[in-house]
Structures are given as C-alpha cells and as structure tokens.
Structure 1
C-alpha cells in the first residue's frame, strides 16, 4: 500500500539525441519554467539527476541522459548496468526533423537502449515522444507521424520491454501534457482506488465530469466523465491554460485558490483539494447549485485533514 510511512522511489530515464528537447521538456513540466526561459538552457553534458516529488510520497528519480554521440556511448556501454538497473519508465525522444541516415543512426541507439533495458530492467515501460512537431506543416503532420511511428514500432520488436505509447509532442501546447500525464500515471500505485474515489465523488456531487490534477506539475492524475466521451486532450488543454494563468498570477504576486467559470451550458469549479492536488468539477444540471458543490468539496477536505495517510489513503474516504 502506498502509505505515509514509505516513500515510493521510481526511476525514470529521459533519453534521446542532443537538441531533441529533453531538458526543456522536464523543466516545463516539473520546474514550471516559463517558456521564455527555455532559450537559456545549455547543452546537457553530464547526467542531470532531478528528484521530483509527486502526489505526496511518490518520488520520481529523473535522469536526463546527455544526447551527444560520444556521451551516449559511455552510458550505453561502459556504464550501462548503473544507468539501466531498476528503471521503472524510459521516456525516449526523437526529433521529428531528423531524417535519412541520421534517423537510422538514432534508431540503432534506440534499439541498444531497449536491449539494455531488457537485460537490466525487463519489467520497465517505454514511452516514445516524437518531439518538435510545431516544426512540421500542419497538413503533413499525420503523414510524418504515421511513417515514423511505423518504423519505431518495427524496431521495438524482439525485446522483453513494453512500449506503452508513441506521442507526437510540442512543448508549446497540450500535447506535452497529454504525454506526460500518461507517463506519470504509470508510476502512481493504486490508481484503481483513485479512479473509484473520483467516480463516487462525481456521483455524490451530481457532476458530469471530475478531473484530478497534481498541484505542482498540473498533470492529469485521473478523470471521470459520466458521458464517457473520453476526450482526455481537453483536460490537457486545461492543464496548459491553468498553468500559464497560475504563472502569470505568481509574477503578479496574486494567490489564486479557486477558479469558477459559468456559461449557459455548464458550470466549472477548479479548487485546491488535497495537499498535493486540485480538482475540476463540471456540472450541467441547473438544479445543482455551485454553493452545494463548494460545500461538498470543503467537507471532503475536512475529512482528509483528519488522517495522516497518503493522498491515496485520503481519497479512499470518498468511497
């Protein structure tokens, strides 16, 4: 059980060729770096180790591996046991503009990476991000993605490793949040408890949709949609919008704890929930009053304060 007496340490490798966007990506997601600061990021020449605290007791040990060919050889061969042991998740980045022999060379490095994972961390999961899609004409993006997707999947076969998903990403929009939300969700234990707790809360509040976000990164932890539309990308778009709004408020030294949006078709409330999360509640029933939703959220928060357990333990109180 993911409880308050143990810190869950999950090792995550971030790999890919130089200038594929690895450092920019984790700084945007986990360090909340404003986009304008990304131009100041230099070249990663040594393993950059970042400890990310997520959902209270979950600690992600993120290793950003340099992408220069000579540096990669050192980590892929000389130090492979150290780097690839006890890995929970590998995130591998390809630069979408890399083509021809350079792309084939990168695929060889990718296959060597999978081989090392298969040897030292056979139970690990792999996520591939084809990054910088903003550099590709919108009309060509589907064709480019499908071509690269097919080649990467083909070269992923024959290893004792599960390639969970391949994403087309860009640090400027919600595709980044979609990818990383699914990545961290694979690191969170007891996700069934979290989902069932949200489902119960959604029903008790007479809401149409409930989404749970991690407070610092704004990544989606889980969601419930009673209409089963399963349009997760809209939640990632909300993540991006709220994060930029919060950054603007921080620069203006304004602390925002609750956001309310009302239209003719729906009402939305976004409020701080547990110590490490905030929650979005959407409802369309005119018989449901916003004040009633606020009361239910505040009552739940009081329940959470009565125990010293993890975020998952607290959410179990909703069941």
Structure 2
C-alpha cells in the first residue's frame, strides 16, 4: 500500500457507555437502517471493525467499541496503544437520560487522557444522544449544561471538542455526522472550490453534494436569495428523504438498500426549480435554480459535462485546473424546454 493511499485512510473510534446508542446511529448512517429497525440490534461485544469506503478516495476504519465497564478497562490497560493509537477522530456518545452521568464523564475523561497520550492530534466529537426523550422546552438548557460539564473533563481537547445534540428520530443525527465526515474528507476544500465555480457558471441558487450510499451531505454552496432561506435544516431533511426513498426502492425492487438508487428527481414550481442527479459514481448533486426552463436545461447539460472533473476527486487530492472549459453551454445559448412548472418527475433506475 503506497503512502498516498495510507494517507486517505482514517481511523475513527465510536465510544460511549453501553446502551448509549452507538451501534444504532452507525447502522442508520452506514448500513441503511431506519430508526424503527434498530431495536433488534444487540449490545456490541468488544470491538466491531468496519472498513467503509466513502467518496471513493476515503476509507473509514470505524471501530465501534463496546461500552461495558470490563471492555473499557481492557481498552485503557491491555490494549491502550492498540485502540488509541493513530486515531483521526473520536466520537463519544452520551445518553442524555443516563442516571450515572457523572460516572459516564469519569469514563470519558479516562478515555480522553489515553487518546491525548497516543493520538494528540485527534479530533473529538461529543454527541449528546437521545434528545427526543427530553421535553422540547428543556432541551437547549440541558444540552448546554451537559456540554459545559463534559468540556471541563476534556483536558487536552477542551478547546477543540465539538458538541452535537442528536436523535435517531430526526435530522439532528445527519447534521452531526455530516460535520464529522466533512472533517475527515481530505480534499473538501477542492470540492468546495469546484462546486462554487459550477454554481456561478449555471446560475444556481444552491448546490448540495451528497454521498450516494449514506445520503450524507458532503458540502454545499449557497448564493443570492437562497442565503435568506429560513429552513436551516433543509440539507439534513433532504438526507432523510433520500434515505427513506432508498428504503422504499429496495423494498419494491428486492435490491439491497445500499445498491438501490434513483437516476434523477425533478421538481418545477413557479418560484424555483430543483433537481437531484448523479454527479459521480459516489455522489449525487442537488441543485436549486431560478424558475426558468432555459437555466434549468443549461444547468443539467453543464453538470453532465463537468462530471469527469469531479470524478477525478475520487482518486486525486486536487482537481486539474480549467474547470470552466468543461462548460460548453451558457445560459444565453441554452435551448429552452417546456414550461412544465408545478410538476415533479422521477425516473427510477
């Protein structure tokens, strides 16, 4: 294995007390489970290893670590260097309803100390989970209180640790994991730069890049009036819709959920037009554009033409220069289509 390929592998630890919900969220994000199906999952025994290919050039070496006291003690003593060495990201999950919160924080502190000793450059994400079990009016205050307390036990990571409130029953889970994945992608800046050029070339209000298998957002570019969009969780909502759609297609086609994918979805209204299409083998691209058939057709053609340049990012860390040369059609020269506003069209693979 060459050094370039090794650099694109990331070791991720998923830890927390037994029953906190670690395996459930892992199954929803990476194994295409839906929330109601995770009830049949059993407790994790020791460590479950998963090698997950993400965005073509990123391999996540995910360690789902059992949270029973005996296993944690073993990680901290006999397997300390093995478990905590070469870690890129630690995801620690707290159960918001735990009756032993202070004991959970002590365990977290011991793990943080081992991580700092073996992988001082790691990034720590703390997910305060099962927030749906807390009354809506109390969630924000309780989350802040718990986050402040946990930060105090984060020692060498206290200035960089990130906190997210999550639940498997809403979009918060996708929002947290999107941030984690964004941190892990080595060429996120290059992808964003190309996406920004594409948005300007096709006059898109918003472009959103999704990973095809997990439906997690990779990154997005927002322009013009779309900056005023009040639905701040719209990216995660689309993730949830795509995930549900994959489940539905798998059910009706007898295909595994990780294989079932649609070719394109189009929505046209008098205020905006929207479509989701395949960009590369590993990604889907969602585009929100002005209500114009001319711009709509131009955008679809130019996205098709620029696909090879984005595909290069699946195997390279930087794109080749001159992406604008791939745009053979401009908005002024594109042929207009019909005025089928108010219709949604979908073509299944």
Determine if the TM-score, normalized by the shorter chain, exceeds 0.5: yes
SS in 2 for 1:222: strand
- How far apart are the structure 1 equivalents of 2:33 and 2:322? 34
- How far apart are the structure 2 equivalents of 1:87 and 1:232? 32
8 Å contact kept, 1:126–1:161 = no
C-alpha RMSD of the superposition: 2.3
Give the one of 319, 323, 326 matched to 1:318.
323
8 Å contact kept, 2:276–2:287 = yes
Structure 1: gaps (5+ residues): none
Q: Which has the higher contact order (CA 8 A, sep 6+)?
A: 1
CA separation of 1:114/1:240 partners in 2, compared to 1, >3 Å: closer, same or farther? same
- How far apart are the structure 1 equivalents of 2:300 and 2:59? 31
Partner of 2:271: 265
Shift of 1:195: 0.8
- How far apart are the structure 2 equivalents of 1:62 and 1:190? 20
Partner of 1:119: 117
Instruction: After superposition, give the CA deviation of every residue in 1:223-270 in whole Å (9 maximum; x if it has no partner).
Output: 100134596521011111111112111211175210111222111110
CA separation of 1:93/1:304 partners in 2, compared to 1, >3 Å: closer, same or farther? closer
Structure 2: gaps (5+ residues): 254-259, 325-349
Shift of 1:301: 2.3
- How does the TM-score come out when normalised to structure 1? 0.91
8 Å contact kept, 2:11–2:86 = yes
**Does structure 1 residue 150 correspond to structure 2 residue 148?**
yes
- How far apart are the structure 2 equivalents of 1:73 and 1:149? 24
- How far apart are the structure 2 equivalents of 1:304 and 1:73? 45
1:55-94 residue pairs with structure 2 within 5 A? 55-94=55-94
Higher radius of gyration, 1 or 2? 2
8 Å contact kept, 1:304–1:317 = no
Shift of 1:284: 2.1
Instruction: After superposition, give the CA deviation of every residue in 1:147-183 in whole Å (9 maximum; x if it has no partner).
Output: 1111111222x31576341010001111000000100
- How does the TM-score come out when normalised to structure 2? 0.83
Partner of 2:335: none
Shift of 1:144: 1.2
CA separation of 1:120/1:5 partners in 2, compared to 1, >3 Å: closer, same or farther? closer
Partner of 2:333: none
Partner of 2:247: 247
SS in 2 for 1:272: strand
CA separation of 1:93/1:299 partners in 2, compared to 1, >3 Å: closer, same or farther? same
Mean Cα deviation higher: 223-232 or 239-248: 223-232
1:127-138 residue pairs with structure 2 within 5 A? 127-138=125-136
Shift of 1:6: 2.4
